[in-house]
Structure formats: structure tokens, C-alpha cells
Amino acid sequence: MTVSIVRFGGSNCDRDAERALEYLGIDAEIVWHEDGLPADTTGIVLPGGFSYGDYLRAGAMAARSPIMAEVREAAADGVPVLGVCNGAQVGCEAGLTEGAFTTNESARFQCEHVHLRVERADTPWTAAYEEGEVIEVPIAHGEGRYEIADDRLADLEDEGRVLFRYCDADGETSPEANPNGSKHAVAGVLGERDTVAVLMPHPERATLPDIGPTDGQGVLCGFEQ
């Protein structure tokens, strides 16, 4: 009964995720990618960071490491998988979720607190919230602009696979409240199953009360059995 946090060369939010999960009473351990997934894995975090120095494209190298075949298999079997920031880029590159996270519209690294609107509250990652609820979490990325063909995005929206959108404090989306220029303000999406989610903002950095808002706790509670 352990959540495996997959550490690649260059991951740097793996310990944040471990501490946040442990704070919530969820057993978690960091797993070096070359060691493969432990047999008792009951959930998987693809953590933030700069795996392989963002060479080629953010997440491109890690997405093609052998452990990701195991992650895809586990995801298909219903094991909860959460990709955060660089982990979201890895998830998209690995085909766990659709679309791509690419260079911010500003062409700058953005490090700030943002508001997110919960688009669906009937998934493991959002069961702690109400639909339409606005939560505050930090972002820290240079390549977080969600990009996807218009027709595919329409399909994702029809299928209810947009999980979070950037918005203002009142829950309204606007260009000003969209920190990276993501298409339709998408901040996080679901995979083929609701148990697979990726998002650019950092729920694990909004979990411990000592360091600020704790709105991210609900996302990590998706790993509770």
C-alpha cells in the first residue's frame, strides 16, 4: 500500500511530494526510475523538476525511459497516476494524457500563485472540492502552455477530461488570469481513465500548513484508498 514517487535524473519535487503525502497519512516512497516500480505500488506520482535538463523538450527523455512502460501498464490497470509540473510534461510526452505543455506565452519562467477552477468534482483528484470551486496553488514553470489541436480539445471538453482551468479569484477565466497562455486556460487534464491526471500547478506545494495555502491537499487525497 505505497505510492511510488518516480525520481528521474533532475527531478526536484520528489521529496516535496513525499512529505506532503506523508503529512496526509498516505504511505509514499521515492523510487529511482532504473529500479522499476515496486510490486506493492498502489499509486504513482510523476514529480516536478527538470528531468534530463529538459533536453529536446521538457519531459521528452523521461517519457521514454523503461519505467514509463510500467507506469502506462499500471495506469491501464486502474492504478492512480498523478503527474505534476515536469511530471505533467512527462505524462503528455508518454501518451498518458493528450496534448503537450510547451513554452509559456511570455517566453519566461513563471513562478507565482494562481487560481484554479475545479471543472469536475467527481474524480479521485477533486472529490474533496465542489464543482466550480476556486483553489489557490503555486506554479513554477517555463513550459506550461497547454497546446493541442482545436478539434481534439473540443473532444476532451465534451468527454469531461479538462480537470482544472486557470481563472481569477472569482472563478472567471480571462487572458489576464491565464499565466502561460494555455489553450482554453487548461491547467490540468485527465487521461483515458479518471484515475490518471496531469497538471502544471503544484498541489504538493500547497499542502503543508507551515508554507502557505493548503488548497492542494484535496488533489493528493486522490491517492487515499
Partner 1 sequence: MYYGAKAKAFLSTVAGYQVMTAYTATVTVRLKRGVLDPEAETTAQALERLGFELEELRSADRFEVDLEAESAEAARERADEMAERLLANPTIHDYDVEVAER
Cell numbers found for residue 204: 504538493
Which of the residues 18, 70, 93, 204 is marked catalytic?
204
By CB under 8 A, tell whether 179 contacts partner 1. Answer: no
Of the candidates 76, 68, 110, the residue with the CA atom closest to the CA atom of residue 92: 68
178 binds partner 1 (CB under 8 A): no
User: Residues in contact with partner 1, total (CB under 8 A)?
Assistant: 20
The span from the CA of 44 to the CA of 58, in Å, is 19
Question: With binding defined as CB under 8 A, does residue 148 bind partner 1?
Answer: yes
64 binds partner 1 (CB under 8 A): yes
- Footprint on residues 22-51 left by partner 1 (CB under 8 A): none
| Position 106 contacts partner 1 (CB under 8 A) | yes
Residues 180 and 107: beta-carbon distance below 8 Å: no
Q: What is the identity of the amino acid at 158?
A: D
- The DSSP H or E segment spanning 86 is helix 86-93
The helix/strand/coil state of 94 is coil
Q: 126: closest CA among 178, 80, 170?
A: 80
Among residues 13, 85, 92, 221, the one annotated as catalytic is 85
User: Does 202 qualify as catalytic in the annotation?
Assistant: yes
Q: In this chain, which of 1, 39, 107, 169 binds partner 1, going by CB under 8 A?
A: 107
Q: Is residue 134 a contact residue for partner 1 (CB under 8 A)?
A: no
Nearer to partner 1, 135 or 148 (CB): 148
Closest CA to 119 of 162, 82, 183, 83: 162
Residues acting as catalytic residues: 85, 202, 204
Residues that bind partner 1 (CB under 8 A): 56-57, 60, 64, 92-93, 98-100, 102-107, 145, 147-149, 181
